[in-house]
């Protein structure tokens, strides 16, 4: 994979790629300056370093065509940068996860109508399977021989599993101090788990440097990031389809880099433009942890300037101190009448327990953040409790057991006798 583009391309796809390699995608364009780059293994604008975004020319797409598709993200393949024969390549077939009406949580929070989009039921138990499936397709089409990522958890699991299923070499880089269970969750799928002496930012930096030097390496969230990120749109498509082809009034989404929130908004806008849902107003809220809340801080300060922070929170999957899409999250929250809110680690733990005790959903710390932020948004009058609201649960609580294990446990330890049981008052 070459990685040098210096000027706007005459063609929209790199030479050597097969026709339709990226479906209805037409080019990459810079979100900052609009500079156009040919579809290829590129992620940063050669003019201003801004993030590159996929642009499309969509054909007419109908609800019926989508509904006739498989019960996974490929039912939306016409709206993704993937070839029309994507289902024939082995992949983890993520998506079409359940949208649960959360009546108990709604009653607890005083919200009239509340849904949980539960992405903990994906193949490796987080939303990352969606984005990785799109990255895997791009890696294949670009002729990559190694599928890689820097990660602290969910992404590593998804990349290692998808690579195993696809039969492509995977290399996963993690901080060396990562807890053993998280290492096992990835190492079970790959022989090539590399522990780096440093924190996540150090691992991320190393990945960027390797991506710039090594031929044939596709780092899912580095040099194929534009394709990878598009996978998050399927969350937005599914929410709309599962609501009966309509948009919710309000959505609460966790924010790390901010990519997922921007892609859900992009999905809603695309559905409106394609006539698949009625055009209506919706509000998008971002959820962060106080220990890593640079976007929430900027939102509250009324500024566009996001000051990077050194993360210090139990919500490791949200611990990105310099969020690349943060500025766009601010734009969307302000444009739609939403906001970006933050909660403390204690509130995150309470959020995890609240969702579990009301709806039987065991979420990871990111979902605890989203639940706790939703509660705070209601309490502070930012979220309208009379409107239909969807919250996104991005991953399973078994992945972050360490964060909650001190919070829950036996209500009593008793002798094996009926009297002892009666004494508990249970």
Partner 1 sequence: MSVRVRIPTILRTYTGGDSEVTAEGATLAEVLDNLDASFAGIKGRILDEDGKLRRFVNVYVNNDDVRFEQDLATPTPDGAEVSVIPAVAGGC
Q: Please give the residue ranges that form the binding site for partner 1 (CB under 8 A).
A: 3-6, 32, 42-51, 127, 149-152, 155, 198, 200-202, 204-205, 208-209, 212-213, 221-222, 225, 253-261, 308, 310, 317-320, 322-325, 327, 366, 394
CA distances from 416 to 98, 174, 420, 423 (A): 40, 45, 7, 12
CB of 61 to partner 1, least distance (A): 26
Neighbour count for residue 66 (Cβ, 10 Å): 17
CB of 324 to partner 1, least distance (A): 4
Q: Please name the residue ranges forming H helices in 10-111.
A: 63-67, 103-109
Residue among 78 and 173 whose Cβ is closer to partner 1: 173
Do the bridges between strand 36-37 and strand 52-56 make them parallel or antiparallel, or are there none, so unpaired?
unpaired
Q: How far apart are the C-alpha atoms of 1 and 269, rounded to whole Å?
A: 33
CB of 385 to partner 1, least distance (A): 24
Do the bridges between strand 250-254 and strand 388-393 make them parallel or antiparallel, or are there none, so unpaired?
parallel
Residue among 69 and 198 whose Cβ is closer to partner 1: 198
Residue among 247 and 319 whose Cβ is closer to partner 1: 319
CB of 198 to partner 1, least distance (A): 8
| Helix 326-336 vs helix 294-301: crossing angle, to nearest 10 | 50
CB of 229 to partner 1, least distance (A): 10
> Do residues 78 and 58 make contact, with C-beta atoms less than 8 angstroms apart?
yes
Q: Using the structure block, give the residue that is written with the tokens 């990105």.
A: 320
Residue among 253 and 276 whose Cβ is closer to partner 1: 253
Q: Which two tokens stand for residue 180?
A: 């053993």
Q: How far apart are the C-alpha atoms of 127 and 157, rounded to whole Å?
A: 11
Dihedral of alpha carbons 224, 229, 230, 231, sign:
positive
Residue among 224 and 377 whose Cβ is closer to partner 1: 224
Residue among 83 and 123 whose Cβ is closer to partner 1: 123
CB of 320 to partner 1, least distance (A): 5
């Amino acid at each position: 994979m070459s990685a040098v583009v210096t000027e706007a391309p005459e063609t929209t796809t790199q030479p050597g790629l097969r026709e339709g390699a990226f479906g209805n995608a037409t080019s990459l364009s810079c979100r900052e300056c609009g500079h156009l780059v040919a579809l290829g293994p590129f992620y940063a604008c050669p003019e201003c370093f801004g993030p590159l975004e996929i642009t499309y020319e969509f054909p007419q797409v109908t609800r019926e065509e989508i509904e006739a598709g498989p019960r996974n993200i490929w039912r939306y393949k016409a709206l993704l940068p993937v070839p029309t024969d994507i289902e024939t390549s082995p992949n983890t077939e993520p998506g079409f996860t359940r949208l649960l009406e959360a009546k108990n949580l709604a009653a607890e929070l005083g919200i009239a109508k509340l849904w949980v989009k539960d992405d903990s039921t994906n193949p490796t138990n987080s939303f990352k399977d969606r984005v990785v499936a799109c990255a895997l397709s791009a890696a294949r089409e670009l002729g990559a021989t190694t599928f890689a990522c820097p990660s602290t958890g969910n992404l590593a699991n998804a990349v290692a599993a998808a690579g195993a299923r696809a039969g492509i070499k995977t290399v996963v880089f993690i901080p060396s101090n990562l807890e053993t269970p998280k290492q096992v969750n990835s190492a079970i799928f790959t022989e090539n788990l590399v522990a780096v002496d440093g924190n996540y930012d150090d691992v991320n930096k190393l990945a960027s440097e390797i991506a710039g030097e090594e031929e044939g390496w596709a780092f899912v969230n580095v040099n194929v990031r534009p394709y990878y990120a598009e996978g998050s749109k399927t969350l937005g498509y599914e929410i709309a389809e599962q609501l009966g082809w309509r948009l919710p009034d309000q959505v609460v989404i966790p924010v790390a880099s901010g990519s997922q929130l921007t892609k859900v908004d992009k999905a809603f806008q695309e559905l409106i433009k394609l006539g698949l849902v009625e055009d209506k107003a919706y509000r998008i809220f971002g959820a962060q942890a106080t220990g890593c809340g640079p976007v929430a801080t900027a939102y509250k300060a009324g500024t566009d300037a996001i000051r990077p922070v050194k993360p210090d929170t139990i919500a490791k999957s949200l611990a990105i101190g310099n969020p690349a899409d943060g500025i766009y999250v601010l734009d969307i929250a302000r444009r739609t009448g939403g906001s970006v809110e933050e909660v403390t680690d204690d509130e995150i733990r309470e959020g995890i327990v609240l969702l579990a005790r009301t709806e039987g959903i065991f979420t990871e710390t990111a979902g605890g953040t989203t639940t706790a932020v939703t509660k705070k948004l209601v309490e502070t009058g930012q979220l309208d409790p009379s409107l239909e609201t969807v919250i996104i649960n991005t991953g399973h609580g078994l992945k972050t057991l360490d964060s909650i294990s001190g919070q829950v446990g036996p209500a009593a330890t008793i002798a094996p006798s009926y009297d002892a049981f009666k004494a508990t008052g249970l």
